[in-house]
Structure 1
Amino acid sequence: MRKGWRRALWSSGGLLALAALATFLAATPAGAATLLYLLEWQARPADPDRIRHEAQAIVVIGGRTLRIEHGAKLHLATGVPLLLVGKGTGDSGFEAESEKMEDILLRKWGIGPRWVETESLDTSENAKFAWCLVSSMDVRRIALVTDPAHMPRARRRFEAAGFDVIPAPTSVTFFRPPPLTLASFTPGRKGFAAAKQPLREWAGALFGGIEAWVRPPRPCPGEH
């Protein structure tokens, strides 16, 4: 019995030590850069041939113009229809980010998306409301377009909603290796600021189930 307690205490102590080390590293510029790199490393470029033969829709999450540019190129290369998602906070006079993406598609590329979702406010709702929109049409297999660092969290949300996801991240990386100096490994405000977004993405990717339980997405538009 005592040995069991000792093992449990050692295990707990080890986990606390790892958590403390991770917190320490995340507060440094080098640690923040590593967290971002490990996120982007998981998001490998998609094969257009795979998307052409397997995907039923290319889903583009609103938020950055780079995403719709990438989605447009994938559509032209594969012929797979586009689904634009995300109200967000609106964009440049448009009530929804997805409406701004639709405008870019039509004006710059001469492309019309097949579906436009305009009510979702975050990644969880992006996934759920997209499912509400196309699941009745038997659309299950999607190519998902977002930033590389956002892909691990977004992929888990869309899989939890019911989709079979082919990651199709943009090619733009936000990882910039910091110069390796003593300051790179010194915790401080600069490190915390740099780690804020990577930590949010890691927390969402690893603990999305808890988040969905604590703060579930709203019902599908039209449902009560």
Structure 2
Amino acid sequence: MLVGVSAISLLITVIPVGAFLLHRLETRFEQPDLTEMDFAGVIVLSGTIAGTSYLKRGEVQFLTAPDRIFTMLRLANQHPEKPIIFTGKDGVLIDRGFSEAEVLRKWLSDSRLLTQNMHFETKARNTHENALNTKGMVSSLWPENSQKPWVLVTSADHMPRAVGVFRKAGWKIIAYPVGRITSDDLHLASLNVSGGIKSLSRGLREWVGLTAYYWTGRTDEWFPGPKSVATDN
């Protein structure tokens, strides 16, 4: 068993399987120049704050995907006339009294970074609910903008699945991927065992998620790609 585990670890280190899987996801959408685009607002997906650390110690730790928050702050200041929606509660099935959106709102307020155009959807537990809940929020607060294009911000590897889900929910989406971690130059024999395992785990999670969402009807496309905004619905 030890020999087998060692051989597998060596294989995924010498041959960057995880990096290949992630690279395919991360390069599916290019980051657009928003200065040349007409859009109604911005939607930022949760998945940044470590819920366990907050519940245990009351500390806000941005352990994963902090680029989503940085991008949210930048776009909120660049486009003060447009609503910026952060959506997401907790990624676990059992309610443990944690809502990432509520925690982030308080942290931004305490840090004097909260702007008037920031809004928070606090109930969604996954990407499917992100799409549905924000759709209802926009239809209620800004009905005139419900059929206009919205910018979607999430991690580059998660963007294909997110775009597919939002299209299925009736959104016109401008994909704005952030936090790309792979390089266009993929090399063999990096000998980074922990990095190889993390990349493989992250890549497999998204590919399995794409397949599961397609099979369960949460998206109409197995591997969603770029489309014209005029027909993206």
Q: Distance in 1 between matches of 2:213 and 2:206?
A: 10
Partner in structure 1 of residue 69 of structure 2 = 68
Partner of 1:123: 127
1:47 CA drift (Å): 1.2
Can you list the C-alpha shifts for 1:40-91, whole angstroms capped at 9, x where unaligned?
Answer: 112312212145xx2212001111233122012012223321111000159x
2:78 equivalent to 1:77: yes
Alpha-carbon contact 1:89-1:95 (below 8 Å) kept: no
Paired with 2:68 and 2:85, the residues of 1 have a C-alpha distance of 12
2:181 — aligned with what?
174
Shift of the 178–209 alpha-carbon distance from structure 1 to 2, 3 Å rule, reads: closer
Q: What TM-score, normalized by structure 1, do the two folds share?
A: 0.67
Give the match's secondary structure for 1:180: coil
RMSD of aligned C-alpha atoms? 3.1
Q: Partners of 2:167 and 2:100 in 1: how far apart?
A: 22
1:135 matched to 2:139? The reply is yes
Q: Which protein is richer in helix relative to its size?
A: 1
Confirm or deny: 8 A CA contact 2:46 2:87 kept in the other structure: yes
Equivalent position SS for 2:98: coil
Deviations 1:6-39 (A, max 9, x none): xxxxxxxxxxxxxxxxxx9xx7341211111111
Of 165, 172, 186, 1:157 maps to: 165
Q: Is 1:48–1:77's contact at 8 Å kept on the other side of the alignment?
A: no
5+ residue gaps, structure 2, are 1-7, 49-65, 219-233
Structure 2 Cα separation of the partners of residues 127 and 135 of structure 1? 12
Q: What amino acid is aligned across from residue 95 of structure 1 in structure 2?
A: F
Q: How far, CA to CA, are the matches of 2:197 and 2:100 in structure 1?
A: 29
* Structure 1 residues 89 and 33, CA gap change in structure 2 (3 angstroms): closer
How far apart are the structure 2 equivalents of 1:166 and 1:40?
15
Report the structure number with the largest CA radius of gyration: 1
Q: Does 1:28 align with 2:12?
A: yes
Using structure 2 for the length normalisation, give the TM-score. 0.65
